[in-house]
Amino acid sequence: MNLKGRHLIDPSDFTLEELNQIFTVAQDMVDIPEKYDKICKGKILATLFYEPSTRTRLSFESAMLRMGGKILGFADAQTSSVKKGESISDTIRVVDGYSDIAVIRHPREGAPKLASEFSQVPVINGGDGGHQHPTQTLTDLLTIKTLKGNIDGNKVALCGDLKYGRTVHSLIKTLSRYKDMEFYLVSPPQLQMPEYVKNFVKETYNVKIVETSKIEDVIDEVDILYMTRIQKERFFNEEDYLKLKNSYILTADKIENAKEDMLIMHPLPRVNEIDYSVDKDKRAVYFKQAKYGVYVRMSLMAHLLGVI
């Protein structure tokens, strides 16, 4: 399968077979990193981050550097010509003359899609508003595939901010494409998964969805617990945030009855939704998950650049 020159704006841009190809190479990169340490020599990644990021930006930069390539870009749009009023379409048309591939994070939904329509190089969506976060989804899928052995047939609880959380929107849409999936949506009423997302996965893939406001109701049922933080930056006023910020705090006693092989995942950063005592539990894999993000982004860029 040739992915050269493609964009990744939404996980549905790739077939499951194409995703599996990316995961297979990513796992090989984990096992034999030296095999790939020069494949992007002479290639340049542009990182255009209009919104704060640690893991996404640094993992992309680490990924390109590990493959022998170079990076340029900005981590604060206020240091770029955006401050002068430059449009994203003009920015990408300039930057694609400086680079071979670009990753864009933007607070406005649809901005990476717009950039891809003007770009001569592959564009990767590094997160757009509360909409999508496809490379986090690829990270999550590689983590599940590697640690569970299989993505099909898992019961997955998504907990926390399901209204604004772009990571869970991308994840549930993509996981629904796999066989025999079941979902438990755990959130306060104010932060429930949007109806359009639930309707899409139910009508398109006929998956089972159960909604609850209590994590204790589902903890002994699930194979994967995917925690998310209550995102202060998505609220219009601080009072609403303060009412909800402590809705879910996962502690060691709350997972006593969970399955021995359950995975506790989190896209990070965490605030207080996972107590530090949980870090010692073998089921807590969120830091492994973050590391897998480097390798899946290595594989993705290598495929889009056509160097493998």
Active site residue ranges:
55-56, 84, 105, 133
Report d(CA 150, CA 88) in Å as an integer: 39
Report d(CA 289, CA 41) in Å as an integer: 27
Give the count of alpha carbons within 13 A of 283, CB side only.
24
Task: Extract the tokens encoding 202.
Answer: 């139910």
Report d(CA 75, CA 72) in Å as an integer: 10
Residue 47: which of 134, 131, 125 has the closest Cα? Answer: 125
Query: What's at 189, amino acid-wise?
Result: P
Task: Extract the tokens encoding 169.
Answer: 């929107």
Report d(CA 241, CA 233) in Å as an integer: 9
Give the H or E element holding residue 44.
strand 44-49
What residues have CB less than 8 Å from 238, skipping those under 6 apart? 232
Exposed e or buried b per residue across 196-230, where buried means at least 16 C-beta atoms within 10 angstroms of its C-beta? ebbeebeeeeebebeeeeebeebbeebbbbbbbbb
Could you tell me if 80 and 74 are in contact, meaning their C-beta atoms sit under 8 angstroms apart?
A: yes
